[in-house]
């Protein structure tokens, strides 16, 4: 079980980043995004190579804090109207002390948003297949591959390798938690970003933690079957094919390429070589999820478009991952649960929520993942 200390939210002064839908391309009067003839919002680009460059420029703008890809449902509304509305909602809920009242409802809404974000954007939930677990039973994962090694998250901080001999694995369940507080003075002062801070702090402790579990399992699988691939000259079609073959040689179709931001720089910097192999995406809604296109038949997934504090990949890390059915399984006991709490007995005037979920993570086949690092 993860025992997270409470995170106290404080608004931060400074210039707000421009939203990607209204931001301009570097050194240009043209905006990043526009509507195509069918009404869909896409990156403005004159060619495939230009599109690759704009994807990189957008990622760099996000990391510099100049651009945001916020998925806030209010992102297209007037900023001042949204802030005023959020202040009123927060203040009203904060002073509602009734059990199951507006404060509890507000926490439940944040928890539901986090669950939705995890399903849509999280590495773990997209790379693993979801397993069903009935109330009153333990998770039971059927494994079709025999004589191979699986890894299970034995707790919130430890993984265990298991030699697969039987038809089923029984991974332990554990808690992923988030402990968020809002100071009373911040509510009185009317800071407008507290609600957004609450959402992103909770996401950092829940969704990001899930992805770290997947990464930890994938890292621990290195050397069991597939060796670590050292990319001496950065990413090239030859080195990528070698990594892909590490998974494909076992009869497992390579489905995903999960990479850190700097690999996208390698691809854009050698667009003449990669251009004919890469099919990049341009739609705003797809880019928001970190999906960048397809390469050698694999979907490209990156945390390049996440906020810096929610990244899970280190620079120079890349993974080739097989089909979810042959890679791993996660289970959950319903959505993220929010329990209203306050800090007054501790001598800290404030209220918040203790969020938690009950999950298990199993990388069922070490043959289904290959990791590479830059030399």
The pLDDT of residue 147:
62
The pLDDT of residue 65:
81
Residues 6 or more apart whose CB falls under 8 angstroms from that of 283 comprise 40, 41, 42
The pLDDT of residue 165:
64
Distance CA 338, CA 353 (A): 6
The pLDDT of residue 80:
65
- Residues with pLDDT less than 50, the chain: 1-2, 9-14, 73
Check: CB of residue 176 under 8 Å from CB of residue 209. Answer: yes
Closest CA to 5 of 178, 143, 158, 207: 178
DSSP string, 180-222: EEEEHHHHHHT-TTHHHHHHHHHHHHTHHHHHHHHHHHHHHTT
Distance CA 2, CA 209 (A): 10
Distance CA 21, CA 284 (A): 8
The pLDDT of residue 201:
85
Q: H or E stretch including 103? A: helix 102-121
Distance CA 331, CA 139 (A): 7
Strand partners of residue 355? 178, 338
The pLDDT of residue 67:
87
Distance CA 270, CA 239 (A): 14
């Amino acid at each position: 079980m993860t025992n997270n200390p409470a995170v106290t939210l404080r608004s931060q002064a400074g210039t707000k980043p421009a939203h990607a839908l209204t931001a301009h391309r570097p050194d240009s009067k043209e905006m990043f995004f526009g509507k195509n003839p069918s009404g869909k919002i896409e990156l403005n680009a004159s060619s495939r190579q230009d599109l690759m460059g704009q994807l990189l420029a957008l990622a760099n703008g996000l990391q510099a804090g100049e651009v945001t890809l916020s998925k806030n449902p209010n992102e297209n509304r007037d900023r001042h109207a949204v802030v005023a509305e959020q202040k009123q909602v927060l203040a009203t809920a904060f002073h509602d002390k009734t059990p199951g009242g507006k404060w509890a409802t507000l926490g439940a809404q944040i928890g539901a948003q986090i669950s939705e974000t995890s399903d849509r954007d999280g590495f773990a939930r997209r790379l693993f297949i979801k397993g069903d677990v009935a109330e009153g039973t333990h998770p039971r994962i059927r494994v079709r591959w025999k004589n191979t090694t699986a890894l299970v998250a034995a707790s919130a901080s430890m993984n265990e390798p298991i030699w697969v001999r039987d038809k089923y694995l029984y991974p332990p369940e554990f808690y992923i938690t988030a402990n968020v507080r809002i100071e009373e003075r911040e509510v009185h002062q009317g800071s407008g970003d507290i609600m957004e801070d609450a959402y992103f702090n909770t996401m950092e402790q829940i969704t990001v933690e899930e992805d770290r579990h997947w990464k930890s399992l994938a890292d621990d699988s290195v050397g069991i079957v597939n060796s670590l691939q050292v990319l001496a000259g950065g990413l090239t079609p030859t080195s990528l094919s070698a990594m892909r073959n590490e998974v494909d040689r076992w009869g497992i179709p390579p489905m995903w390429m999960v990479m850190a931001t700097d690999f996208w720089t390698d691809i854009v910097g050698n667009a003449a070589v990669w251009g004919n192999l890469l099919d990049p995406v341009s739609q705003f809604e797809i880019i928001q999820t970190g999906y960048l296109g397809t390469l050698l038949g694999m979907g490209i997934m990156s945390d390049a478009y996440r906020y810096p504090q929610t990244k899970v990949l280190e620079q120079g890390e890349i993974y080739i991952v097989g089909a979810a059915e042959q890679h791993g399984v996660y289970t959950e006991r319903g959505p993220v649960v929010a329990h209203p709490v306050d800090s007054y007995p501790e001598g800290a005037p404030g209220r918040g929520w203790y969020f938690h979920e009950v999950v298990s993570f199993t990388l069922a086949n070490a043959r289904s993942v290959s990791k590479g690092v830059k030399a």
